Amino acid sequence: MKLLRFGEKGAERPGLLAADGSIRDLGGVVDDVTGAALAPEMLAKIAALDPASLPVAPAGARIGAPVAGVGKIIAIGLNYADHAEEAGMQVPPEPVVFMKAVSAISGPDDPVELPRGAEKLDWEVELAFVIGTRAKYVPLEAAMDHVAGYMICNDVSERAFQAERAGQWTKGKSHDTFAPLGPWLVTRDEVADPQALGLWLEVNGARMQTGTTATMVYGVAFLVHYLSQFMTLEPGDIVTTGTPPGVGMGMKPPRFLRAGDVMVLGIEGLGQQRQVVVPA
């Protein structure tokens, strides 16, 4: 099942992608695609619906981020061994954890802002997962029971803000529009193995990243287990799991985004995104 949200920013409605490619309005079933709607019983209720019985969304409607009311975005750094190598860093002995501000969330095709004073705007295609049931001190063998589904995240980063200014990574990861999500939230039952998905990203039509989640150092199940030892994961929380090699920072010479550049990215079975870079 593919859940989504459509409509103007700030006024999105919950939706379902039908098998025929049409978007069906779930507004009569759930108020929005929030953590409450991702509970197993609610997902089962939605799955039992006949999409043909639901209203069709307006043609050409904007697609927003698939999840609303997100409490936190937890990001994992250096989670692909080959990306750690291109960044000149060691594979970490435990997951590198940082946060992205929820105000950074945007739709999959919304513009990405070039922040004022930015010098090193970079791209990162990532597999993200969304929590469906509260997770605290979760054993590894039960970890996947807490995952509602998966989506694409472009972990947009300003490398100078991230690494060359005092402090932690968060300020280089949290500008408005730095977390394009979607287009869909694909429920867990439709993804046979989250550690076997191809992912890619292009800038201005040139392929920059080509990878597979098979090379992640710490997989989805381990991350749920690990993170739940340090903080409670609530329904609707998002974890974005790191990026394969091919980011601008790792090129020789480095290549960074400028206003007018176009990013297109995708993950197998999860759709694709397209963003134009615009001045903030």
What does the pLDDT look like over 129-167, one tens digit per residue? 999 999 999 999 999 999 999 999 999 999 999 988 888
What pLDDT does 132 receive?
98
Residue 83, pLDDT above cutoff 80? no
> Is the dihedral angle over the CA atoms 84, 89, 93, 99 positive or is it negative?
negative
What pLDDT does 81 receive?
81
Q: Which of 39, 25, 59 is closest to 234 using CA atoms?
A: 39
What pLDDT does 186 receive?
98
Domain boundaries, the chain: 2-53, 73-279
What pLDDT does 89 receive?
73
| Average pLDDT of the chain to the nearest whole number | 96
CB 142 within 8 A of CB 231: no
What pLDDT does 261 receive?
98
Residues 6+ apart with CB under 8 A from 255: 203, 248
Q: Which CATH number fits domain 73-279: 3.40.50.300, 3.40.50.10470, 3.90.850.10, 2.60.40.10?
A: 3.90.850.10
Residue 190, pLDDT above cutoff 90? yes
CB 126 within 8 A of CB 182: no
The mean pLDDT of 103-121, rounded to a whole number, is: 97
Instruction: Give residue 101's identity as a one-letter amino acid code.
Output: A
Least confident of 19-23, 37-41, 88-92, 257-261: 88-92
What pLDDT does 88 receive?
76
Is 0.85 topped by the overall pTM?
A: yes
Q: What is the pLDDT of residues 5-59, one digit of tens each?
A: 999 999 999 999 999 999 999 999 999 999 999 999 999 999 999 999 999 999 9
Q: Using 50, 70 and 90 to split pLDDT, how confident is the model at 114?
A: very high
CA–CA gap between residue 13 and residue 157 (Å, rounded): 29
